[in-house]
């Protein structure tokens, strides 16, 4: 079971490395990794389990965060109360094949399970993306995402390239943005 002990923190070089593509069919190890990462997200979003194991709630987890430099990330974005998740999959070898010019940032800024401090500021990303990825069965998907799920996938894909959310924050003016950027509540 993945817990906070398995998640590496800023300062560890793996978080700054370019991850490698995953080969198909998945090895037994990589299949287990994918499952364990998704289970971590499910556990972290279950109040009882999260309390018991001291898990910080997460909507995504990238393989390099558990010190495995592979192009794989689990994403679990909850839907409206009582409804299905708005996005749930393990995205493997993901590529953003196109994106909107429209920028968007979360009003609250971002956080990261690998960063044990608040770093305030807008993280301006693409509001809409077209994402190509493979699932754990080796099936290829091409999907359009917008708003929060698009932001989360960009945060995870950044991890695969060694980028952390605060790299995008303007150092002089953390809450500056272009007039036409969207703010997502």
Q: Which of 61, 91, 131, 150 binds ligand SB7 (CB under 6 A)?
A: 61
Q: Using CB under 6 A as the criterion, what x/- string covers residues 82-111 for binding ligand SB7?
A: ------------------------x---xx
Active-site residue (options: 156, 173, 178, 185): 156
Q: In 3D, which of 80, 61, 62 has the Cα closest to residue 70?
A: 62
Tokens 């190890």 correspond to 29
Sheet holding 60-62, edge to edge: 60-62, 72-77, 87-99, 128-134, 140-146
156 classed as catalytic: yes
CB 124 within 8 A of CB 103: yes
Q: Is 112 in the site for Ni ion (CB under 5 A)?
A: yes
Nearer to ligand SB7, 61 or 129 (CB): 61
Half-sphere exposure of 89 (CA within 13 A, CB side): 22
Residue 19 binds which of ligand SB7, Ni ion, none (CB < 5-8 A, kind-dependent): none
Q: Which of 55, 59, 68, 129 binds ligand SB7 (CB under 6 A)?
A: 59
3-state secondary structure of 101: coil
Binding site for ligand SB7 (CB under 6 A): 58-62, 65, 106, 110-114, 151-152, 155-156, 159
């Amino acid at each position: 079971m993945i817990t906070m002990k398995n998640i590496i923190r800023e300062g560890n070089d793996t978080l700054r490395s370019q991850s490698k593509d995953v080969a198909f069919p998945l090895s037994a190890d990589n299949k287990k990794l994918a499952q364990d990462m998704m289970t971590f997200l499910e556990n972290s979003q279950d109040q009882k389990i999260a309390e018991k194991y001291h898990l910080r709630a997460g909507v995504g987890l990238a393989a390099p965060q558990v010190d495995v430099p592979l192009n794989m990330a689990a994403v679990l974005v909850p839907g409206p109360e009582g409804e299905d998740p708005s996005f749930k999959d393990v995205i493997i070898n993901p590529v953003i094949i196109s994106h909107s010019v429209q920028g968007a940032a979360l009003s609250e800024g971002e956080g990261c399970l690998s960063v044990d401090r608040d770093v305030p500021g807008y993280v301006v990303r693409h509001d809409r993306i077209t994402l190509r990825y493979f699932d754990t069965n080796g099936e290829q998907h091409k999907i359009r995402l917008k708003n929060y799920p698009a932001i989360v996938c960009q945060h995870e894909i950044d991890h695969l390239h060694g980028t952390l959310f605060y790299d995008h924050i303007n150092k002089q003016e953390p809450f500056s943005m272009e007039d036409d950027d969207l703010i997502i509540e």
